[in-house]
Amino acid sequence: MNKELTKNFASGHSACAGCAFPTIVRTILGESPDPVVISNATGCLEVTSTLYPFTAWKTPYIHSAFENASATISGVERAHKILSKKGKVPKKVKFVVFGGDGGTYDIGLQSLSGALERGHDFVYVVYDNGGYMNTGNQRSSATPYGAATETTPVGKESFGKVEMRKNLMEIVAAHHIKYAAQANVAYLGDLKKKAKKAFEIEGPAFLSVFSPCTNNWKFPTSQYVAISKLATETNFWPLFEIENGKYKVNWATETPKDLEEFLKTQGRFKHLFSEKNAPVLAEMKKIVKDEWQRLVNKTEEV
């Protein structure tokens, strides 16, 4: 593998074949012009990259609990400011948090909110695979409506998750940070540009990246890029950024593909194509259409 690609994150990890986050990590960290310090919440990335006594990280790295990765990096960032003023450490260092949606949308939300509100100089990256995948595919607040998980199973009395997924981007935007962006592992050029912007920002920046899970979404390992593209091509996962409060859509088409093209690629949605669940599928399509229109309206307003 190209040494430049692995300068921060080595190839010797145990992530599943077809997992997206090794590509996400390398792509984002490759855009930092300065050394990086990593805080990583408990989750798939932490477990597969730090199998004792080995590590895939070639950077200073701190494993934090599910709930406190943002608090951890806050302390490190402030300590660095003090030490750099005393001339004891290099002045230019970038601080990065990686967390899954369980450690970001749910358990780590309070910690993230506090760090954003205080204005710490760091980049937060959530690799969003829509559930607690490391512990067996339990639902999270990032899990889409209608998806089957271990805690929202499909049966005679259930069609999967009954709640809409949380709109984390709007929650982050409410903290009035300078830069937040939604990206997708299938669009690496777009992800690179957004990572570069995030590192250039003074203060907190936030990146939410679509990261499919081959094991628990139930799709062939070779298909993660194709499925990721469909997520954006159907408007399920729009590419956009919020810079100084202004919304900008980065990819759009006048003829989006039918949502079914995305859903049918994954076993977690196969039950939706039964006659009984036709109303659930119709509701999913309405949710996606309405959320897309809300985003477009915000873009037009600014």
Taking only the tens place, the pLDDT of each residue in 129-142 is: 999 999 999 999 99
- What is the tens place of the pLDDT at every residue in 93-125? 999 999 999 999 999 999 999 999 999 999 999
CA dihedral 106, 62, 52, 102 (to 10 degrees): 10
pLDDT of 301 above 80: no
Instruction: Mark 26-57 as b/e (b = at least 16 C-beta within 10 Å).
Output: bbbbbbbeeebbbbbbbbbbbbbbbeeeebbb
Q: pLDDT tens across 156-193, in order?
A: 989 999 999 999 999 999 999 999 999 999 999 999 99
> Per-residue pLDDT tens for 226-237?
999 999 999 999
pLDDT digits (tens, 9 = 90+) for 145-158: 999 999 999 999 89
302 confidence band (pLDDT: 50, 70, 90): very low
- What is the per-residue pLDDT for 7? 87
SS3 category, 210: strand
In this predicted structure, what is the pLDDT of residue 6? Answer: 74
Average pLDDT over residues 276-295: 97
Is a pLDDT exceeding 90 seen at residue 90? no
Strand 240-243 relative to strand 246-249: parallel, antiparallel, unpaired? antiparallel
Residue 210: its pLDDT value, please?
A: 98
Q: What is the dihedral of CA 77, 99, 115, 175, to 10 degrees?
A: 140
Both tokens of 138, joined, read: 């339990």
Output the pLDDT for position 3. Answer: 64
Looking at the whole model, is its pTM more than 0.75?
yes
53 Cβ neighbours under 8 A, 6+ residues apart = none
pLDDT band at 91 (very low <50, low <70, confident <90, very high): confident
Interval 238-264: pLDDT, tens: 999 999 999 999 999 999 999 999 999
Residue 2's pLDDT is what? 59
CB 174 within 8 A of CB 204: no
What's the pLDDT at 47? Answer: 94
39-63 pLDDT per residue, tens? 999 999 999 999 989 999 999 999 9
Max CA pair span of the chain = 69
pLDDT confidence band for 12 (50 / 70 / 90): confident
pLDDT band at 11 (very low <50, low <70, confident <90, very high): confident
The answer to whether the beta carbons of residues 20 and 127 sit under 8 Å apart is yes
User: Mean pLDDT over residues 269-280, rounded?
Assistant: 97
The domains found in the chain, sorted by start residue, are: 21-301 (3.40.50.970)
DSSP-assigned letters across all residues of 5-71: TTSSB-S---PPTT-SHHHHHHHHHTT-SS-EEEEEESSHHHHHH--TT---B-S-EEEE-TT-HHH
Task: Assign residue 60 a region (left: φ > 0; alpha: ψ between -120 and 50; beta: otherwise).
Answer: beta
Q: What is the structure's pLDDT at 5?
A: 63
Strand partners, 97: 39, 124
User: Which residues have CB under 8 Å from 3's CB, separation 6+?
Assistant: none
User: Using 50, 70 and 90 to split pLDDT, how confident is the model at 275?
Assistant: very high
Structure tokens at 130: 């829509």
CA atoms of 40 and 277, how far apart (whole Å): 39
> Tokens 């986050």 map to which residue?
21
Query: Contact at 8 Å (CB) between 230 and 257?
Result: yes
Q: Which helix (H) or strand (E) holds 96?
A: strand 94-100
Q: What is the pLDDT of residues 18-35, one digit of tens each?
A: 999 999 999 999 999 999
**65 has a pLDDT exceeding 90:** yes
How does the average pLDDT of the chain come out, rounded?
A: 95
